Amino acid sequence: MSLRLGDTAPNFTADSTAGKINFHEYLGDSWGILFSHPADYTPVCTTELGAAAKLKDEFDKRNVKMLALSVDGLESHKSWINDINETQHTTVNFPIIADEDRKVSGLYDMIHPNSNENFTVRSVFIIGNDKKIKLIITYPASTGRNFDELLRVIDSLQLTANYSVATPANWKHGEDVVIAPAIKNEDIPAKFPKGHKEIKPYLRTTPQPNL
């Protein structure tokens, strides 16, 4: 059965470039991002892993542990990392799972046979510090992901986990947010002391509350 938002992220043990990983132990109390790559030594994946490595500090700031996956073996991963480091001018600084037996790809439904029988699509799972799946995105092999967008989504997920707000279209950290419809008008001043605007009764905004 495929995974859905709110499900507990299935645990697994797998070989990775950082040794054997038990996923839940690896996450500990952190958030996590698990992202799959169709195959080693492919151009788009090479740029994606480089882009992700350059943003590790940003993921760390948000207490998010990174974990990549590809269905190739450990030796292949290790030598591919040298190419990534060389061509993307960075150092891959998070583990890559060697999912040769497709165990993790199967568990997370990362192989879409009508797209490609052998390789994973570009799946992204963001997992909260409660081990629940907060976000699932699927990109085709031909389209590299935008890791700045993933950080933006994490900012929204972490904010909305703690405050009764939602983030509007194209929202970025620092911009006004939307007050959750469940909040009654009379409760707004206590909950959002920075003030609010009522554009429509169902569309009320307030400055980002955690700044």
Residues that bind ligand BEZ (CB under 6 A): 38-39, 42-45, 119, 141-142
Most distant pair of Cα atoms in the chain: their distance: 61
State the amino acid at position 109 in one-letter form: D
Identified catalytic residue from 21, 45, 52, 71: 45
Nearer to ligand BEZ, 83 or 176 (CB): 83
Query: Cα separation of 16 and 27, whole Å?
Result: 14
Nearer to ligand BEZ, 73 or 193 (CB): 73
SS3 127: strand
Query: Cα separation of 58 and 137, whole Å?
Result: 20
- Report in angstroms how near the CB of residue 47 gets to ligand BEZ at its nearest: 8
Query: Cα separation of 69 and 209, whole Å?
Result: 36
- Report in angstroms how near the CB of residue 83 gets to ligand BEZ at its nearest: 13
> What is the strand order of the sheet 203-206 is part of?
165-166, 177-179, 203-206, 197-200
Nearer to ligand BEZ, 82 or 118 (CB): 118
The DSSP H or E segment spanning 207 is none
Nearer to ligand BEZ, 43 or 201 (CB): 43
- 45 catalytic? Reply is yes
- Report in angstroms how near the CB of residue 73 gets to ligand BEZ at its nearest: 17
Answer whether 15's CB lies under 8 Å from 74's CB. yes
- Report in angstroms how near the CB of residue 36 gets to ligand BEZ at its nearest: 11
Active centre residues (catalytic)? 45
